């Protein structure tokens, strides 16, 4: 599904090069459940941006769904992302003045579905994450756990092959975090979406089938 071979990513900052990834190799296969852990600044989010086709390596090879991102134009990257990847972030990133239903329907705009079909699909996805009763609520009218479930529904509505979650439980209390994780695992089991979760929480990481530890821009254990 995703192949990362000797990938480096450095940022240019005030004429100085900051090496965020210094030669990372890994594979995400269909249906995988992977946790990425490591200290702050070790390159976890940088790696997630690459896995999600939001960014390109400075060097090395990155294949997403069989396509070498180095050969893709920006619009081709956007299309690949919309068709293959779902993202969930620590701070939900929902549109504040938009209902749960319309937040979830938004990624379908790029699919050429009409408004009625988009809303029907969004409604079904909200039902799936247990939020059928919150369709007309706006983000500030929902709890943190509910907002994160809306974000998960938005990530899933396009039926991605890979769900990338960067600290998805970071802003939630323990109990709500466990519920969100239960939901992600259920989706992994039932629809086979590959799950890649960045976490600082070792209890969260322990639940994954594969654990990747990063340090200073390198994978130190697979």
- In the complex, the residues that contact Mg ion under the rule CB under 5 A are 45
- Closest C-alpha among 51, 59, 105 to residue 77: 51
The Cα 156–Cα 150 span in angstroms is 10
Q: Is 220 in the site for ligand ATP (CB under 6 A)?
A: no
Output the six-digit token pair for 26: 């890994």
Contact partner, 20, from ligand ATP, Mg ion, none, Cβ < 5-8 Å per class = ligand ATP
Q: How many CA atoms lie within 13 A of 41 on its CB side?
A: 3
Q: Is 11 in the site for ligand ATP (CB under 6 A)?
A: yes
Closest distance to ligand ATP from the beta carbon of 41 (Å): 4
Q: Is 125 in the site for ligand ATP (CB under 6 A)?
A: no
Q: Is 210 in the site for ligand ATP (CB under 6 A)?
A: no
Q: Is 52 in the site for ligand ATP (CB under 6 A)?
A: no
Residue 91, number of CB atoms within 10 A of its CB? 13
Alpha carbon 132 to chain centroid, angstroms: 23
Our CB check for Mg ion shows the closer of 2 and 36 to be 36
Residues 24-43, one symbol each (x = binds ligand ATP by CB under 6 A, - = not), give: --------------x-xxxx
Place of tokens 């299309």: 79
Output the six-digit token pair for 9: 């990513």
Q: How many residues sit in the footprint of ligand ATP (CB under 6 A)?
A: 12
């Amino acid at each position: 599904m995703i192949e990362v071979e000797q990938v480096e990513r450095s940022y240019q900052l005030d004429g100085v090069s900051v090496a965020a990834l210094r030669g990372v190799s890994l594979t995400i296969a269909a249906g995988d459940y992977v946790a990425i852990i490591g200290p702050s600044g070790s390159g976890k989010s940088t790696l997630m941006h690459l896995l999600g086709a939001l960014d390109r390596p400075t060097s090395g090879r990155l294949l997403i769904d069989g396509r070498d991102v180095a050969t893709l134009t920006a619009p081709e990257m956007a299309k690949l992302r919309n068709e293959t990847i779902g993202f969930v972030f620590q701070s939900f990133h929902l549109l504040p003045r938009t209902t749960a239903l319309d937040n979830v329907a938004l990624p379908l705009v790029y699919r050429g579905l009409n408004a009625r079909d988009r809303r029907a699909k969004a409604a079904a996805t909200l039902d799936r994450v247990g939020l059928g009763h919150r369709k007309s609520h706006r983000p500030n009218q929902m709890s943190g756990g509910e907002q994160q479930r809306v974000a998960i529904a938005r990530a899933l509505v396009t039926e991605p092959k890979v769900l990338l979650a960067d600290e998805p439980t970071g802003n939630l209390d323990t109990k709500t975090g466990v519920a969100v994780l239960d939901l992600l695992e259920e989706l992994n089991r039932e629809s086979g979406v590959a799950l890649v979760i960045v976490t600082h929480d070792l209890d969260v990481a322990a639940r994954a089938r594969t654990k990747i530890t990063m340090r200073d821009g390198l994978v130190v254990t697979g």
